Amino acid sequence: MKTFTKIMSLLIVGIILVLAFASCNGNTSQTTTEKDATETTSEVTTKGTDTTEAQTTIETSEETTTEETTTEETTTEEVTEHQAVQEFDMNDIVLAFGLTSDIHINNSGDAASTKFATALTQLKKKARELGVELDAIVSTGDITNSGTKEQYSILKNIYETNMGKQTPFVFVLGNHDQYQPLSNAYDIFNTEQYTGTMVDDSLIKYGNVHYVLNGIHFVAICPNTYSSGNYSCPFTSKTKNWLDETLEEITTADPGAPVFVLVHPMIYDTAYGSTLEVSTQCCWYTTELTDILSQYPQVIALSGHLHFTVNDERCIMQTDFTTIGCGSTSYMAVMNGGYENMSSATVMNDAQQVSDGYLFLVDSKGNVKVVRMDFSNKSETKEPWIIPAPEANKSHLNFYRKDRKYNDNPAPVFGTENVIYIDNVAKNASGYLPKFCWQSATDDDMVFLYEVSIMNESGVVIQKWKFLSDYYRVTDAKDMKTEYSVQNRIAGGRLSFDTKYTIRIIAFDCWENASDPAVMEFTGNSEGEITITYSNFKITEQ
């Protein structure tokens, strides 16, 4: 009897548990449905105006119970905590624009004109390969070489020949454009093609314009001078106030969409080159916009001026907003690093042979895809950058921060121990000069430079050189040179006969990660014979 009683008790408990589970399951299903509806409402609220938000809140309050309101609050918290992911919908593109910076049009038919036409052709071709047509071409300044009406007319003719008269040309003016009155630009670009997208040109005499293309906002602003004497380009208080007010209006209306700010100088201490200081009268960056832009995580600041090649990963940087350095269609440059084979502190000997820019794509969710273009090689460069749609918690700004250089970023590596060899020797009675050759290193990205040092028997560096790799001329690391060389030039004379020297070569990536050194010891005699050994060597820097 006791056994029967126990069995009946267990059956009753089981039935109760089944009924309780069914009840919970039904409530769970209902809660999920309510949550889905709440998420949809939340998305509308984010994209809508203040009026829409108020109406949505009222309607939700009337239709939901206290329990449903609790669910809505939980969902809102979940949306706030959402972490941005790098996604892009190639099937839902709302805006496609090409970017050509620092065009420097001078004379009809010159190299700059040819490169600009080539860039437009390449951008159209790439866009069509991706299944879209270009909605506009954007430029971040120095569209002419000296700002004359004749140069703007040449530029306009090239543009309309290649893009037709329907594709908008959106631009900010640069220091070269300001050599003449800014009004020259707008006197020539005065048709609807160039002004039809303007929603505010009240400060156009200062070079400040607000454009809208397919619902995406562009704000162009100009400093009042590039020769302030303290390296930083200053802006008038009128311009800065207008920028702040315009960005507040845009982002309040649509906080989930990117906003492109066009400004010729770099925003200080952001993307590569934004700290450049050289002994010239021209300022390369501005410190006056950071506080304003930092209030608006939707901002993608596009800057030219530097001509730094777009295949350098440092050309995109995220702080409280995103900054991108925009290369040049006319010629390339690099940070002042004391490199060999340069025509100036920042311009390579072969800089005129390189031309690059971008293709920007924006999808309906506000994600941005940045395709890097090498116009001189007529190809895409590396992998595109993906900037996620703006998030209130700024999680979309965590993909291209400065500290990414420390995260899983290996240093370059030389392939073999005996990397260095001597090709030939120039000698006379007082000593000799060997030609050093070395095999290139490899990297997960691209090797940026090689540092070559010659040490005496005591390990003291008696000569040091820095050589840029050819990274700026290729679209893929496999196309880089496999060997480099230098004819030794010892300061103050030649290497002495029958004396042991050491050559050390270190490869660096763009983040300044250094390889293990390739080291070779050598001794030369008066007969021109070189004895070589390979070993590790302790260096004493002086």
Same domain, 383 and 450: no
What integer is the mean pLDDT of 267-282? 86
pLDDT band at 255 (very low <50, low <70, confident <90, very high): very high
Rounded to whole angstroms, what are the CA distances from 218 to 122, 171, 205, 235, 263? 23, 9, 17, 18, 11
| Euclidean distance between CA atoms 218 and 49, whole angstroms | 20
- The whole-number pLDDT of residue 541 equals 46
Same domain, 418 and 398: no
How many CB atoms lie under 10 A from the CB of residue 402? Answer: 14
Residue 110 lies in a domain: yes
Short-list 293, 298, 288, 533, CA closest to 392: 298
Same domain, 16 and 117: no
Mention every residue, 6+ apart, whose C-beta is less than 8 A from residue 458. 540
H/E stretch holding 33: helix 2-47
Please count the structural domains in the chain: 3
Rounded to whole angstroms, what are the CA distances from 228 to 144, 232, 234? 22, 7, 7
Residue 160 lies in a domain: yes
Same domain, 236 and 327: yes
pLDDT band at 72 (very low <50, low <70, confident <90, very high): very low
Rounded to whole angstroms, what are the CA distances from 326 to 72, 140, 248, 303, 309? 43, 7, 25, 6, 8
CATH number for the domain spanning 512: value is 2.60.40.2550
Task: Compute the mean pLDDT over every residue in the chain, rounded to the nearest whole number.
Answer: 84
> Where among 357, 380, 406 does a domain terminate?
406
Q: For residue range 198-212, what is the model confidence (pLDDT) as tens digits?
A: 888 888 888 999 999
Residue 140 lies in a domain: yes
Q: What percent of the chain has pLDDT over 90?
A: 67
Same domain, 232 and 104: yes
Residue 423 lies in a domain: yes
At 350, the amino acid letter reads: D
Same domain, 431 and 382: no
Same domain, 162 and 101: yes
Residue 524 lies in a domain: yes
Q: For residue range 398-451, what is the model confidence (pLDDT) as tens digits?
A: 999 988 876 678 999 998 778 999 988 888 888 998 999 999 999 999 999 999
Q: Give counts: helices (H), strands (E), the chain.
A: 9, 25
> Where among 80, 104, 130 does a domain terminate?
80
| Euclidean distance between CA atoms 50 and 67, whole angstroms | 26
Same domain, 283 and 323: yes
Residue 374 lies in a domain: yes
Same domain, 491 and 374: no
Which residues is 460 bridged to in the sheet? Answer: 540
> Where among 80, 105, 120 does a domain terminate?
80
- The whole-number pLDDT of residue 199 equals 86
Q: For residue range 175-231, what is the model confidence (pLDDT) as tens digits?
A: 999 999 999 999 999 888 888 788 888 888 889 999 999 999 999 999 998 887 777
**Residue 506 belongs to what domain range?**
413-533
- Please tell me what DSSP assigns to residue 513: P
Residue 278 lies in a domain: yes
- Please tell me what DSSP assigns to residue 87: -
- The C-alpha R_g of the chain, in whole angstroms, comes to 30
Query: Given a cut of 60, is residue 463 above it in pLDDT?
Result: yes
Helices 66-80 and 2-47: crossing angle in degrees, nearest 10, is 60
Short-list 315, 313, 266, 316, CA closest to 293: 266
Same domain, 251 and 319: yes
What integer is the mean pLDDT of 154-160? 97
Which residues is 360 bridged to in the sheet? Answer: 97, 370
- With tokens 């790799």, the residue in question is 469
Q: Is 457 helix (H, G, I), strand (E, B) or coil?
A: coil
What integer is the mean pLDDT of 118-131? 98
Same domain, 51 and 102: no
- Please tell me what DSSP assigns to residue 395: G
What integer is the mean pLDDT of 133-149? 97
Residue 345 lies in a domain: yes
H/E stretch holding 373: strand 368-374
| Euclidean distance between CA atoms 304 and 178, whole angstroms | 15
H/E stretch holding 159: helix 149-163
- The whole-number pLDDT of residue 23 equals 42
Instruction: Report the Cα–Cα distance between both ends of the chain, in Å, rounded.
Output: 99
Same domain, 280 and 233: yes
CATH number for the domain spanning 241: value is 3.60.21.10
| Euclidean distance between CA atoms 122 and 281, whole angstroms | 35
Task: Give every strand in the sheet of 322-325, ordered side by side.
Answer: 198-203, 208-213, 216-221, 259-263, 299-303, 322-325, 316-318
